[in-house]
Structure 1
Amino acid sequence: MDSQVMVALALSLVGGLSTSVGALFVILYEAPNLKMLGLLQGFAAGLMLSISFLDLAHNAMNSIGFLKGNLWFFAGVIFFALVVNFIPEPSMSPSSDAKEKKKSGDHGGKDMIKKHRRQVLFSGIITAIGISLHNLPEGMAVFLGSLKGLRVGLNLALAIALHNIPEGVAVALPVYFATQSKWQAFKLSTLSGFAEPLGVIIVAYLFPSSLDPEILEGLLGAVGGVMAFLTLHEMLPLAFDYAGQKQAVKAVFFGMAFMSASLYLLEISLPKEMSL
């Protein structure tokens, strides 16, 4: 069990630290490349949909029956829908910040910018808190996936990592505008990603080491529901907004094809003693 926790922690760190990549988009470039971020979201959505429906939900229904598998799946959907309802995730809106800068410049330059900085900084902090709370169940999903096998945990970590890049932008953008500090923007964005390994630690101590196989399959079905809701509610709309519908749909199917290929390559390349 300890080794499984360590593997899950390592995988969740990959996902969590990808918020730092998003912060780099902000501090290294004057404006984030929104089309690229949208394509990444479409690609990640394809990965996530494949994992949700063709892997987690499919295996749950095969293992514990169609009815039970569906009940677990929709329990996951309802759980994450409640999370989103009570803690709505702030969206990335660099265009509004750019307008704010322009407006400030038109009405007195530095004085107006100073007046708005505290409000924008508060917005960045609230965004970081909201994203951190969203990252907790994602870390839990990576841990439960790792219990099933390396393949499931690895695929979840990859898809979540791609999803977290725009989240890093959403945190870093207002903080950088408010403080003019690249370090502060990078630091707060990175800290918001550490909620993912924290989610692993929490769930690792909630579940016993000898988890009933039927319960594990059910929980993984619920993780499929969480991932499906996350994809359809947050990732696809962002992809459509920033990359355009046609390009985003292409990225989704490319992501699905990539996931199918990765599943096959992992299956034939991993040593037999390593669980898939």
Structure 2
Amino acid sequence: MASQVLVALALSLVGGFSTSLGALFVVLSGAPNLKMLGLLQGFAAGLMLSISFLDLAHNAINSIGFLKGNLWFFAGVIFFAFIAHFIPEPSLGPVSDTKRRKDKDEGGKDIMKKHRRQVLYSGIITAIGISLHNFPEGMAVFLGSVKGLRVGLNLALAIALHNIPEGVAVALPVYFATQSKWQAFKLATLSGFAEPLGVVIVAYLFPSSLSPEILEGLLGSVGGVMAFLTLHEMLPLAFDYAGQKQAVKVVFLGMACMSASLYFLEISLPEDLSL
């Protein structure tokens, strides 16, 4: 058992560090302007929506039934809507009369600061959502490794390719907001660490203390949380920066790319094992 866990951990690190590769693409290029950022935010929103509706919620409904799957999904939506109500929106403090009399350049700097705070908040939200999504992928790598090294290796490589755009989605807003390549790379890498953590969880806690039905329900709730985060935070930023028509187009492009990625990931799994 210990050797299987070590092999699965090593394989999950391959997938986990692919988020770092995606972040590397971002930090090696220049920080985007606001319109480009909006387009990429829309693309990232499409990735997140595809994961939420076509992966996590879909699997929960197929596994535990339409009613239970929907109840878990909307429980996640309501839970995070309640949490978001108490999270202060990233915005500037009150502007004094003296500040109001400053020149346009100073006002432009204030607007840019507000943009950066909003985008940083969006990047942190994306990192949390991607991290939650990576847990079941780590679990799948462990279960695949138990079936055989070839299965585990193929699955780890498929997940690695699947995680590269996720690294981009995390690193891009953080890099734009902080102008720090290290912060962008670090946060994307940390979100990838959820994958080996999923291996540890499934190896030492599942299934002894968590039933498959509860696990599927929790993942359905994660889908609800991610859907709420995307619609509440990421899409408004994409609309503001890139314009509604362009943003909608890249949202569907992001959904198509993630759906294709999920398909190729699914066909790499054995018939009796799925994410």
Determine if the TM-score, normalized by the shorter chain, exceeds 0.5: yes
* 1:81, distance to aligned residue in structure 2 (A): 3.7
Aligned to 2:187: 192
CA distance in 2, matches of 1:41, 1:61: 28
* 1:197, distance to aligned residue in structure 2 (A): 4.2
Q: 1:129 to 1:9 in 2, by over 3 A?
A: farther
CA distance in 1, matches of 2:25, 2:86: 27
CA distance in 1, matches of 2:89, 2:126: 7
Give unmatched runs, 5+ long, in structure 2.
92-101, 142-154
Contact persistence 1:129–1:192 (CA under 8 A): no
Given residue 157 of structure 1, which amino acid in structure 2 is its aligned partner?
Answer: N
Contact persistence 1:90–1:131 (CA under 8 A): no
Aligned to 1:247: 246
Q: 1:131 to 1:267 in 2, by over 3 A?
A: closer
Aligned to 1:37: 37
- SS at structure 1 position matched to 2:231: helix
Given residue 161 of structure 1, which amino acid in structure 2 is its aligned partner?
Answer: G
**Per-residue Cα deviation, 1:205-250 (whole angstroms, up to 9, x for no partner):** 5661435321221122122112212221222112212221111111
Q: 1:88 to 1:130 in 2, by over 3 A?
A: farther
Contact persistence 2:60–2:219 (CA under 8 A): yes
Contact persistence 1:138–1:160 (CA under 8 A): yes
* 1:78, distance to aligned residue in structure 2 (A): 3.6
* 1:21, distance to aligned residue in structure 2 (A): 4.7
CA distance in 2, matches of 1:101, 1:6: 54
Could you tell me the TM-score, scaled by structure 2's length? 0.65
Contact persistence 2:23–2:170 (CA under 8 A): yes
Q: How many residues align?
A: 238
CA distance in 2, matches of 1:237, 1:129: 13
Contact persistence 1:38–1:240 (CA under 8 A): yes
Aligned to 1:232: 231
Aligned to 2:95: none
Given residue 45 of structure 1, which amino acid in structure 2 is its aligned partner?
Answer: A
CA distance in 2, matches of 1:24, 1:200: 25
Give unmatched runs, 5+ long, in structure 1.
92-98, 105-112, 174-184
Aligned to 1:13: 17
Given residue 72 of structure 2, which amino acid in structure 1 is its aligned partner?
Answer: W
Aligned to 2:152: none
Could you tell me the TM-score, scaled by structure 1's length? 0.64
Q: 1:15 to 1:74 in 2, by over 3 A?
A: farther
* 1:60, distance to aligned residue in structure 2 (A): 0.7
CA distance in 2, matches of 1:11, 1:101: 47
CA distance in 2, matches of 1:159, 1:223: 20
Q: 1:18 to 1:137 in 2, by over 3 A?
A: same
Given residue 191 of structure 1, which amino acid in structure 2 is its aligned partner?
Answer: K
**Per-residue Cα deviation, 1:93-120 (whole angstroms, up to 9, x for no partner):** xxxxxx999449xxxxxxxx9xx9xxx8
Q: 1:230 to 1:205 in 2, by over 3 A?
A: same
Choose 186-195 or 151-160, whichever is displaced more: 151-160
